[in-house]
Amino acid sequence: MDKFIIQGGATLRGEITISGAKNSALPILAATLLVDGPSTLANVPNLADIRAQLDLLGDLGCDTRRDENGVLTAEVTSTDNSWATYDRVRKMRASISVLGPLLARRGYARVSMPGGCAIGSRPVDLHLRGLEALGAKIELDNGDIIASCDKLRGTEIFLGGAFGSTVLGTMNVLSAATLAEGTTVIESAACEPEVVDLVTYLNACGAKISGAGSPRITIEGVERLTGCDHTVIPDRIEAGTFLIAAAATKSDDLLIQNIHLRDMMALVDKLREVGIVVVPENNGTAARVVVPGEILPTDITTQPHPGFPTDVQAQMMVLLSLANGNSVLTEKIFPDRFLHVPELLRMGANIRKEGPTSIITGVDQLIGAPVMASDLRASAALVIAGLVARGETTIRRVYHIDRGYEHIETKLAACGATIRREKE
């Protein structure tokens, strides 16, 4: 098991290039189970979660390979096995995204209930409700979801839940609906850019989907999909993490490349509200930040896209821990997603948690300490905290961060951070 050791206090200079979006690549890889022939996918990041998904696809008869340039080709060569076992699926929640494609293409899927980060309950009831509406028969057996059908048929489906729209549920249902008979309308669909990216891929394969990026998506079923070439969008969460890291370390000479700033406006707006200047470059495909004065407090509530993303809540909490005043951060997507709070307290932050809300009183400085990563985004927050803290910070269990950030320590070290990876 690896750990990071960080000496705080450095400012970041140079360029960081953002990798492809994990949360796009995973469902797109799952969707290759729907198509005939090879799909060529560029900008797929080399992450632990991606490798786990490729292993799962291999079990399900999909051959995958990367060329010397990192471009990934995926093609179904066998349909003999449709069981996504617990040993595969327990590693990450996004494995559930194979359920809809397997059901639509093969008429049968057996998928273990998924695992992932310990950030609270994330039920899959909306996935199952949507697939049942399309005509699937759903059973539960020994921790597995068993879905079967003779033929899926288009219908109207409402996918709103207690905490808003379901991103993976929207992806699962629309993927299944591409091969359904007739027209499917998904109401209260997730609007995330990753949903749009999946739809872009499926339409390039021959699907007929409209409305992606809005709460109402319409799918006209087709008989067959054929593989295509596709480039995965940049990872807006990785981009947001580095924007916040630049702001926290007051680094005004760090250029963050390969981003879609238009997909990050809620975060950019909050950064500007706390006194950070975000300077777009190259028509919004790159940006740098400037911190002209003190960091100001603010109130933030996480929401489904285009609201403030839950996946940068922990990172933003580090920045607000350095603000001059009191901030309030409310988590509306995953109310239990505050396992990073005790670790930040160990580093001298002043945070009081009350239910789904944290009250953050800014301090002059964080202090380096041994801390433990609890989940993917909490890991990124602790890295930022280590960069700004006085002294040395040791972060254990960094396998979490390897699930969603491609060589984060290498990217930071190349820009002046004193960070290294060591074995425990």
| Same domain flag for 224 and 85 | yes
The answer to whether residue 46 scores a pLDDT higher than 80 is yes
Cβ atoms of 385 and 318 closer than 8 Å: yes
pTM exceeding 0.85: yes
Residue 1: what pLDDT? 86
51's tokens: 């490798």
Q: Which of these three, 175, 196, 231, is where a domain ends?
A: 231
Residues contacting 263, CB < 8 A, separation 6+ = 193, 233, 236
Confidence of residue 386 (pLDDT cuts 50, 70, 90): very high
Q: Which of these three, 178, 211, 231, is where a domain ends?
A: 231
Q: Which of these three, 231, 264, 294, is where a domain ends?
A: 231
| Same domain flag for 275 and 216 | no
What sections of 68-133 are H helices per DSSP? 86-89, 99-106, 125-133
Domain count, the chain: 2
263-280: average pLDDT: 97
273-282: average pLDDT: 97
What does 256-276 look like in DSSP terms, one character per residue?
Answer: EES--GGGGHHHHHHHHHTTP
| Same domain flag for 30 and 174 | yes
Residue 115: what pLDDT? 55
Query: For residue 351, what is the domain's CATH number?
Result: 3.65.10.10
Residue 94: what pLDDT? 86
Number of Cβ within a 10 Å radius of residue 126: 22
* pLDDT tens per residue, range 220-238: 999 999 999 999 999 999 9
Comparing 353 with 114, the larger pLDDT belongs to 353
Residue 117: what pLDDT? 42
The CA distance from 316 to 302, in Å, is 11
393-420: average pLDDT: 95
| Same domain flag for 127 and 28 | yes
The answer to whether residue 122 scores a pLDDT higher than 80 is no
* pLDDT tens per residue, range 280-306: 999 999 999 999 999 999 999 999 999
| Same domain flag for 246 and 281 | yes
| Same domain flag for 391 and 248 | yes
Residue 121: what pLDDT? 42
Neighbour-count burial of 30, counting CB atoms closer than 10 A to its CB (0-12 exposed, 13-18 middle, 19+ buried)? buried
* pLDDT tens per residue, range 57-83: 999 999 999 998 889 999 999 999 999
Domain that holds residue 416: 2-19+234-423
The answer to whether residue 120 scores a pLDDT higher than 50 is no
Q: Which residues on adjacent β-strands are paired with residue 229?
A: 40
| Same domain flag for 94 and 165 | yes
The CA distance from 114 to 119, in Å, is 13
Residues involved in catalysis = 117
**Type of residue numbered 56:** L
The answer to whether residue 123 scores a pLDDT higher than 80 is no
Share of the chain above pLDDT 90, in %: 88
Report cis status (omega within 30 of 0) of the bond before 292.
Answer: no
| Same domain flag for 225 and 281 | no
| Same domain flag for 66 and 205 | yes
| Same domain flag for 189 and 279 | no
What does 317-383 look like in DSSP terms, one character per residue?
Answer: HHHHTTSSSEEEEE-SS-TT--TTHHHHHHTT-EEEEETTEEEEE--S--B--EEE--SHHHHHHHH
| Same domain flag for 411 and 333 | yes
| Same domain flag for 163 and 260 | no
